[in-house]
Structure 1
């Protein structure tokens, strides 16, 4: 059977909408501070490798815990240039990539994990306000919409379990006008939206003000431990640190043990030109809820402060060999598909054009949310695997890393989620074959009223199924 997104869109509308778009993240089209390259060897108490959200929250919270620490953060490129400057800006409370995913994997912990997620989101909101970070924070809530009949039942069941408020077709049309919406689930307090690049840059400012030394264009080439210190070679200078946090996420880990635990999957995004008041009136989107649809291959979208619509998701592309390559970011077929789906969702916006198109690599593992560990006699902590839901979870992950390095048990380190690691992905070509087969099966499920085939049922039974 067909889904609503198999509908026809005039190709001339799609081509016109994309014709003037620029390749590159809209969020990064802002003034950014320059931090120096590390040019000479140095020592510190804590070295943080990676200048995205995880690394920045780690450095900031380490400085808050012990202001006398000497903390260094190094970034191979620019602060926030990768996933932290390319995501949709959804700050979700879930630290398990959705309630269903967490409940399946840690049924005995899910209530506590849910509480910790809300505590983390509340704490993030309070900290941003306290530090005066200009990140365009709005506690907007999240609207999950059903675009197929079988999804209505899913959302009703979630509402019955207390996960949000069920909205009928009429109710959801009162919020946002789309002919594709059949029902929705609204969670008012579990999601905020931000300007993602501003979040990274403002965190870097807070780090610098707290005494953290930040170096850009400083790539960590290798890690060597001996005695009571860890030495990180940056290809021109050596950083000798008492402790290290590896926050490199999708990029190749300095620890070989981690290299089979994550794979890079490319996500693609469009951003419209600012909509006029008349265009906004056509869709009635007067609030600023984040929106996502309910298929396995889903779209996510939100409004910006200047009334652009950021529209992403659906295609999730893995390239053979676990490669991360800027050449993968320009994928015309995917951008055309995203534009088609935009106009199916909002046909009344057929005069809208896109200003930007971009992509980025997401680090995913076989449980679809972060995993942690210690190495080198407890002197190196790491975290990976956020699977696209790391804007909020990165702050929680940073605190876990610092707890692990402290050597003391905390409510966070005692979690089964923290103590246990996911199964690794197999080597090539098995990884590629398995990922492509799973992606095909998820698409088939979307076209079969959600029914999962034998492969997906087997993965579910092994605890490897994607169900969030």
Structure 2
């Protein structure tokens, strides 16, 4: 049966509506909530990667620092436990975006990103983090002729900048790595991405933090931030108490920042994913994929996909759903119409896997900013630092963001804090209903560009000139 004619709905019949990564009997129990008042040197708000890296690095910098971390639900339950597990070196959401925005410091940014990924690998080894870390690299794949030319341009751009480690693949070469009839070419970055189990990384960092002396309180949301009297301290109100701290680091990302003026810089975009049942030897052989690389196609509305440690295929992306008003809600974590679309696309990419069923289907919110990569800043006379806007590339970049926040709180001039990327902000999103209309028009234009050989219409070209945009 031709893939386009297949009824794929039965493949979703048994899919559990929960993140595959979080659906694990080894998931650690939540630590008790904070009741009463606490005092500390550093309070970290948020128990995802951003907060966990900040707390652990703070203790590595100064073991005597008294560090508290609070999390509104459980560590790793949000984006850190729902992503695809691509831990990329890039701090700029890809070379092209970095060159377009910071051409004078792109080589520095690439070097810092490579060092950051190396440091993550070293941390995994140092603390014995059982997170299925594999330095496989990743392949960007072309599925349309114009995309083949685009990958060749990126390859030449990287060579001109003195960046190595990339390999340009023709149709036969990319299909020798992973066999899909849609693949026309690829660009393989052999060292720039690691595959891992994202929830296990968060849980491992939680254990490392506790072992280092960080006090973690789960089911403890930070509700309000204000200067404390007498100063110079900050106070964060929680449901059952308050925390007084000399410094505060905000790693809340997609959730409303406790520094209200930061909120217009991000919007939530919902992303969705499926995982298959484990593949048999015969099914796996039909696809190839012996190198276990992560893959992503290079359309505007793109898919990302990889193999898990137990030989499932994770298949995500394409739809990017913006809720009116930037509302973050559990109701948006599941979208059956997107699951059906993803399943249809999956079997078009891999018709040889007809009959495979999906075990899990889930979604979650990504904090998107208009420049597609993180931004940073301070508030309250330097006593509060924040990092946000990772736009789906935070598995690796949040560690760099944690270093930046700690540098800023220490008032240190470092190679990181001197970066234009760190010193500048993206353009904020407009208020509703302008944001809704603009994002909707941008999404429509991106889909049209995908169907029209990559040709960007007047709206997209205008957004490019303004430094604004929207990415799936």
TM range (shorter): over 0.9
Q: Please name the residue that 2:467 is paired with.
A: 463
Q: Please name the residue that 1:19 is paired with.
A: 13
Distance in structure 2 (CA, Å) of the matches to 1:158 and 1:16: 40
Q: Please name the residue that 2:441 is paired with.
A: 437
One of 149, 152, 159 as aligned partner of 2:155: 159
One of 39, 44, 65 as aligned partner of 2:40: 44
5+ unaligned residues in a row in structure 2: which ranges? none
Q: Please name the residue that 1:10 is paired with.
A: 5
Moved more, 378-387 or 150-159: 150-159
Distance in structure 2 (CA, Å) of the matches to 1:280 and 1:356: 19
CA contact (8 A) 2:131 2:196 kept: yes
Q: Please name the residue that 1:272 is paired with.
A: 276
SS of equivalent to 2:461: helix
CA contact (8 A) 2:442 2:469 kept: no
User: Does residue 332 of structure 2 align to residue 328 of structure 1?
Assistant: yes
Q: CA RMSD in A?
A: 1.2
Structure 1 residue 365: deviation in Å? 0.7
Structure 1 residue 236: deviation in Å? 1.4
CA contact (8 A) 1:101 1:466 kept: no
Structure 1 residue 331: deviation in Å? 1.0
- Deviations for 1:398-429, whole angstroms, at most 9, x for unmatched residues? 00000000001000000000000111100000
SS of equivalent to 2:274: strand
Q: Please name the residue that 1:402 is paired with.
A: 406
- Deviations for 1:139-198, whole angstroms, at most 9, x for unmatched residues? 001111100010010111122233621111111111111100011111101000000000
CA contact (8 A) 2:268 2:326 kept: yes
Distance in structure 1 (CA, Å) of the matches to 2:469 and 2:336: 30
Structure 1 residue 285: deviation in Å? 1.3
CA contact (8 A) 2:442 2:470 kept: no
Question: 1:84-99 maps to which residues of 2 (within 5 A)?
Answer: 84-99=80-95
Distance in structure 2 (CA, Å) of the matches to 1:29 and 1:467: 28
CA contact (8 A) 2:3 2:347 kept: no
Corresponding residue pairs, total: 461
Structure 1 residue 8: deviation in Å? 5.7
One of 196, 208, 212 as aligned partner of 1:210: 212
Structure 1 residue 319: deviation in Å? 0.7
CA pair 326-47 structure 1, distance change in 2 beyond 3 A? same
Question: 1:66-465 maps to which residues of 2 (within 5 A)?
Answer: 66-161=62-157, 162=159, 164-226=166-228, 227-465=231-469
- TM-score normalised over the length of structure 2: 0.96
